[in-house]
Structure 1
Amino acid sequence: MDVGGARAALERGRRRVGALKDEALVVRRAVTQTGLLAALRWPGLKVLARELAKGRANPSLLFRYYAENSPSRIAVVDPRSLAPGAAGGGAEGPAEDRVYSFFALNEVIDRLGYALDRRGVGPGATVLLVLKNRPEFVMSQIALARVGASVVTASWRSTPAELSYLAGHSGARLLVFDADIADMIREAAPLLAGIPREGMIAVGARAAGFSHFDELLAERGDAPDRSEQAAVVMYTSGTTGKPKGAVRGFGRGVVLSALGAIGATPMRVGDVHLAVCPLYHLTAFGFVSLSLVLGATIVILPEFQPELFLEAIQRYRVTTTAVVPTMLHRVLELGEARIRAYDTSSLTAIFAGGAPLPPALAAEAMRVFGDRLFNFYGATETGIVTVASPEDLRASPGTIGRPVAGSELMLVGEDGRPCRDGEVGELYVRSPLLVSGYHRDPDATRESTLDGFFSVGDLARRDARGCYHIEGRKRDLIISGGVNVYPAEVESVLHDHPAIAEAAVVGVPDRAWGERVRAFIALRPGASASEDDIKAHCRAQLAGPKIPREIVFVDALPRNPTGKVMKRELVGPEEKPAG
């Protein structure tokens, strides 16, 4: 080796040692701060040492660990007693809650894994989960991870054509679905060429012509542990076209990233986490996973209703929950008096993400709930990469916060150079949670990567405090008269108007300007505002090309099931007249 090569090798070694020291600091701080170290018992320590030595760092390990370390601790609650209509009660009243300890749930997972293995499900096999929020979602996902299979989760609202695409693109061989959508599955079955009828398994009520989940649980045996080969394939929401499958494996870095994210929050051992977003979505999946790292109790709300949400917090003494901003908006619409009728004093953190959090909404939430609101940024492809504390949200309104330990962010301008503070550029992320790429789409993978960093096409800037702000999607950038207009900036101003409940901005073709700004507005109940009022409000805060040239009033913005605004539906030929 020449002198130059030796120096380069030495420098790489130094960087690696430095990275290891940083990782050790993250781990030590998180396990001390959260109470993980104090909660560790000898039986659990033996499991950790054995499994980590084998390279097993996926969610399956958590259930093996807690089944030994804290066997009687409650892992999952299905709150059937909460409301008869929402949780399965009949005329006789609410049903009883289904409650699973970590020990009991680990046994169920093992039996399920054994049954799946007997059906040839393991490394190289893909299983499609189409379930509502229920404990069987967690059971299935963990059991599939334990036997080394790949899991694809999909919305239970999917159409037969959408399921056909996901099953065909992912190569799924087994389908686990909610019995409530059995009719749709029957319609879709002829399109699911890779999944035999006996491989379609209903959960919940019995569905004629299909196998049932309980038949799997009736089989007794220990599942083979091939969890180091497991993967999750999460398909993007497809707001602009066909969804892309983001493939994520489980390595040592997953633990580091999880502890880094937890360290930026008030999450602790002993938490009770309320899962209210769809479990197939990153917001729910991410925070359920982080909570399980701490051995938290997960209360799985079957559906979101504002008062049901508040009642669950009160009844189960919920400490943390994760919502999309639309849910937060709907809760606040109840009014402060109705909200305060419920005891929410147990809450330590409300995590908001999955869509932009308007500064006005954040301010109102903190006024009503106190400094318990945390905004996070992440994507299917990146995991959670930034967290904004209540202090950040007050000092830097609209911020997504700072990178969590283990994540690196890079802003790249149109000229390919790194951006200075205040400049807008494309946001690239590097972290141990990055996906390995898009399933069967090397071109999309290549277009999204840069020197080990990954971009999902978001534009952002960093302020003088070191906090990051999302300015919109690269594809949503509006160029009007040669001026770059970032929709997020205009939408933030619109959300400041007291009569506006929600707003979305798009660019439409214009012969003179290239593009012009069109704003879609949904007013608050009982409020009124004219097009001239709204334009005057914008004119006081925005430069000329950024002021919406057109205002379109709508009853509500079109959103997908995870709360993202479907802007492509707003740019269509049909629109309501302003007024």
Structure 2
Amino acid sequence: MSNVKTPEDLLDRILRAAALHPDRPALSGHRGRTLRYRDLAVAVLATAKGLRRNGFRPGDQMLYCVRPDPSGIVLLLGTVAAGGVIVFLDQRWDTATFAARAASVGARWAANESVLYTDRRIRPGAHALTLPDYPALGIRTLRAGPWLPGVPRGSLSVSGLAKGRYPLDDEVLPGLRGDPHAEAVVIHTAGTTAPPKAVVHTRGSLGSNLTVLAAHCQIAERATVFTHQLMVGLPALAVGAHWRLPAFGPSARMDPVRFARGMGRATHTFLRPSDLSALLTAVSERLAPRPPALQQILVGGAPVLAALVRRSLEVLPGVGVLSVYGMTEILAVAIADEEEKLTASGPGDPAGALLPGVTARVAGDGELILTGPSLAKGYVGGPALTEFATGDLATLDGRSLVLHGRKRDLIVRGRTLIYPALYEPLAESIPGVGHAALIGIPDDAGDERLLLAVQPAGQPVNDHALAEQPKESHTRAAAPADPPSFSVLFDHPLAATIRSALPGLVDEGSLPDEIVVVSAIPTVGRGQAPDRVALRRLLANPPGDS
């Protein structure tokens, strides 16, 4: 007899909750529309049957670019019930990134906000994204919202599918056959990677953490969860709790007052460290109300520092703080409560105990390697994953995990993870730039300001010779390995040139907060890579040019 536990099935857990709690509120949008669990189940099954009647086949992929609201969640679950796979796309991406990631899978269907189909010149807010020509690519389209000029002819209405009434028949929907190994979603890795990695999760890998995460986060039947994060909202639905969705728009970091006011009687929420920091500032300065029913804040997506946890307990006494460590390839891995964060005395960042079923080991170079029931099936077009190398440096004390930074360069900025080596060549392509280095300047919230340091090319870099090093620099290899005369060239015209050129080269989320022109960029190693540690130290108290 096998001791291997069958993974939980995502959809099965939610439909069971609907059967147990049919009259409880399940899902609410920011405009006040609420679906009871009975309504949710009916709408999900109607959507699945409507898709099937319009030619949707088991295994079909749905490009999904729909704002988080009840109709969007119904479409997501209905697609899975029809045996399909959701491929998440983000309307905040630039057109090139969106098109590349849409093309990285073999989707036959695409669901988008109605407004995204229209001419971008007449849209409210002048959204920059232009969708691919789906009909020309043979892709069937769905619209979330009213019909607008530009919506492809024959597009199915998302709300219309959910309201469909179909006769009883003997067909068992493919997604109701309880196959935890069936593919469910494709999620592109956070930040910008080249080429983009599309991570495939199964219904089992998604469902495996539902019970564990809900239990650890104390999300029970009577809880109200306020978040647009699926990995927190779906566990809420699986236990019969109420999932409320914030309004789409600026994050809590950008508009903490609106976020706080929207929470109402929510008992739980999920925030990134930068979001939590902004919310605490708004509450402490009495710009936003203290959430009256809040019991627990889940924090993740970036390092959660003890200083932020301490500040949260001071501003919101009685509200617990749970730091969740996980990633796209393997979902929640470990959880640390506020006590673990505040009482840790050794080096590193305590991430808490590994969740049940998660297995970890540390490689010879200190990198954390993980496996477990929430491990993704793999990447689109790649072999199956058996374990995942995280890129994080870590130590283990039994099942307690402590993080010690990244193995490779990575900058955490709000909701975006930025790999400097992808952007530095783009900056160096701007006329007048010889060398460029991106660095992150950490703050107490665990977020980082993005600073771009550039060294001019083809011109004297300073009034003084750099220890007989050449004054002209055209390649990274020509940069001095250890500049003996480092200075910031204040008011250098190259900064304005770069600032105007970068928006055409990189996406908005990766634009630097500050551009600094320096006499020389320090390098390290035989490859003359930028020495980011030295650069941070030098820019902490920069000497001016003379």
What does residue 21 of structure 2 align with?
A: 70
- Partners in 1 of 2:399 and 2:100 — Cα distance? 44
The reply on whether 1:275 has 2:210 as its aligned counterpart is: no
1:512 aligns with 2:481: yes
**Which letter does structure 1 place at the counterpart of 2:294?**
L
Query: Mapping of 1:16-415 within 5 angstroms?
Result: 17=3, 57-80=8-31, 97-183=32-118, 187-190=130-133, 193-196=136-139, 199-208=140-149, 209-210=151-152, 211=155, 212-221=157-166, 224-227=172-175, 228=179, 229-251=182-204, 255-276=207-228, 284-303=229-248, 304=251, 305-313=255-263, 315=264, 317-338=265-286, 342-370=289-317, 371-396=319-344, 398-414=349-365
Partner SS, residue 196 of structure 2: coil
* Cα distance in 2, alignment partners of residues 290 and 402 from structure 1: 20
Shift of 1:206: 2.2
Question: 2:272–2:301: 8 Å Cα contact kept in structure 1?
Answer: yes
SS in 1 for 2:131: helix
Give the deviation of 1:352 after TM superposition. Answer: 0.8
In 2, distance between residues paired with 1:98 and 1:348?
24
Report the alpha carbon displacement of residue 405 of structure 1 after superposing the two structures with TM. 1.2
For 1:472, the equivalent position in structure 2 comes to: 406
Tell whether the 8 Å contact from 1:312 to 1:318 is kept in structure 2 after alignment. Answer: no
User: Aligned partners of 1:353, 1:429: CA distance in 2, in Å?
Assistant: 18
CA distance in 2, matches of 1:502, 1:246: 26
Counterpart of 1:62 in structure 2: which amino acid?
R
Counterpart of 1:279 in structure 2 is none
Equivalent-residue separation in structure 1 for 2:143 and 2:208 (angstroms): 36
Matched-pair contact (CA < 8 Å) for 1:426–1:474 = no
How much does 1:351 deviate?
A: 0.7
Residue of structure 1 equivalent to 2:538? 550
Cα distance, 1:389 vs structure 2? 0.5
- Measured after TM superposition, the shift of residue 347 of structure 1 is 1.5
Q: Deviations over 1:97-120 (max 9, x none)?
A: 111101011111111111111122
Shift of 1:152: 0.4
Length-normalised TM-score, structure 1: 0.65
The one-character-per-residue Cα deviations of 1:252-295 (angstroms, maximum 9, x if unpaired) are x655433233332222221100014xxxxxxx111112111211
Question: Does the residue aligned with 1:350 lie in a helix, a strand or coil?
Answer: strand
> Cα RMSD over matched residues?
3.7
1:334 counterpart SS class: helix
Provide the secondary structure at the position in 2 that maps to 1:165: helix
- Name the SS for the 2:28 alignment partner: strand
- Is the partner of 2:76 in helix, strand or coil? helix
Q: Take 2:410 and 2:443, find their aligned partners in 1: how far apart are those partners?
A: 18
Which 5+ residue runs of structure 2 have no aligned equivalent? Answer: 121-128, 412-418, 420-438, 455-475, 489-531
The corresponding residue for 2:390 is 456
Q: CA deviation at 1:335?
A: 4.9
Q: Distance in 2 between matches of 1:56 and 1:114?
A: 26
Match of 1:422 in 2: none
SS in 2 for 1:548: helix
Q: SS of the residue aligned with 1:141?
A: helix
Q: Which residue of 2 aligns with 1:420?
A: none
State how far apart, in whole Å, the 1-side matches of 2:97 and 2:46 are.
31
Which of 370, 374, 390 aligns to 1:429? It is: 370
Q: Which amino acid is the alignment partner of residue 302 of structure 2?
A: A
Query: Cα distance 1:193–1:372, how it changes in 2: closer, same or farther (>3 A)?
Result: farther
* Deviation (angstroms), 1:224: 3.9
Q: Match for residue 557 of structure 1?
A: none
Matched-pair identity in % = 21
TM-score, normalised with respect to structure 2: 0.68
